[in-house]
Amino acid sequence: SRKKVIVKNLNSIQNLGGVDILCTDKTGTLTDGSFNVVAIHPQAGIDPDRLLSIAAHAEAYSNHPIALSVKQAYSGPIDQQRIDDVQEQSGHGVRAKIDEHVVLVGNDKLMSECGVGCHECELTGTILHVSLDGEYIGHIVIADVVKPDAAEAVAALRAAGVKKTVMLTGDRADVAAAVAKELGIDEFRAQLLPQDKVAEVEKLLEETHAHGSGKGKLAFVGDGINDAPVLTRADIGIAMGAMGSDAAIEAADVVLMDDDPRKIAKAIKISRKCLRIVYQNTWFAIGIKLGCLLLGALGIANMWLAIFADVGVMVLAVLNAIRALFVKNL
């Protein structure tokens, strides 16, 4: 708690100390979630301001960071009376009626499902495609900023003994690849829906149990409401508390109160030291008591030795446990 890491129960301490594979979301976890519109690419004959206006009106009721960035980039007022029948499709985008016209704003999966042809963009970033009455009218390029301490956090995880890091994201493969390369993440899975993330975590859990000793644990780090199922499914769920959704914080076993990803490695170090102290105290207490029992059976033990085996061992165990408050390199 002093390090702004909240661990909810003893099992979480034990699991955290045995993390071999760490899976992480991208947006809001490795990146700061502050999306910015960096380019607007309309189709021929479409005004860029009109494209942005349509997208901003469609996203008017969404609190997703991407939607907020689109609304922020649009300088004009949003007339909610023009908007009707808004439907958010998790991991895909938004469908809405604007001035009685059907508008789709989302990724290429949404366009494909609705039979709208779209084309890719050469710029690296999140691509928000827009269609009007089934006709593709252009796309908006949105970029997210990697947290300045994210690369250091990944290196610290490796130094702490985590064998593999995996990034799970709903973003495009090229964006995921660029972030993974920049941060030194071992593997990534892109364009995943919330249920796809659960499936990927289950595959990694099977891999861990099949090739490991069974003691290795899998942790998942996320912050969004869509991450709650994955946080529950992993051996240990870690939520980014300051920016994270209430659902993610509730589902997680560990909460990072200041959204600093470096705290993950610190929490692992603290938990491993706590476990070492627990084992030291357990074996020390058992050893002393068995020794006193043996001496008592031989008629050598006296009352003072019995007091030491009881109260003395307890005092030494408490003093040893105090070492858990002091962990190096924090």
Hey, which residues are catalytic here?
25
User: Interhelix angle for 262-297 vs 313-321, to 10°?
Assistant: 170
3-class DSSP assignment, residue 221:
strand
In angstroms, what CA-CA distances link 78 with 49, 56, 192, 290?
13, 7, 31, 77
Which H or E element spans position 239?
strand 236-240
What is the dihedral sign for C-alpha 149, 151, 152, 158?
positive
> Residue 120, Cα to own-chain centre: how many angstroms?
27
3-class DSSP assignment, residue 297:
helix
Backbone dihedral angles phi then psi of residue 7, each to the nearest 5 degrees: -110, 125
> Residue 6, Cα to own-chain centre: how many angstroms?
15
> Residue 309, Cα to own-chain centre: how many angstroms?
46
Please check whether residue 111 is in contact with residue 89, taking contact to mean a CB–CB distance below 8 angstroms.
no
Helices (H) and strands (E) in the chain, counts: 12, 13
- HSE at residue 312, side-chain half, CA atoms within 13 A, is 12
CA-CA-CA-CA dihedral for 225, 231, 232, 238, to nearest 10: -120
Please check whether residue 92 is in contact with residue 69, taking contact to mean a CB–CB distance below 8 angstroms.
no
Residue from 201, 273, 236 nearest 15 by CA: 236
In angstroms, what CA-CA distances link 267 with 86, 221, 298, 319?
42, 13, 47, 22
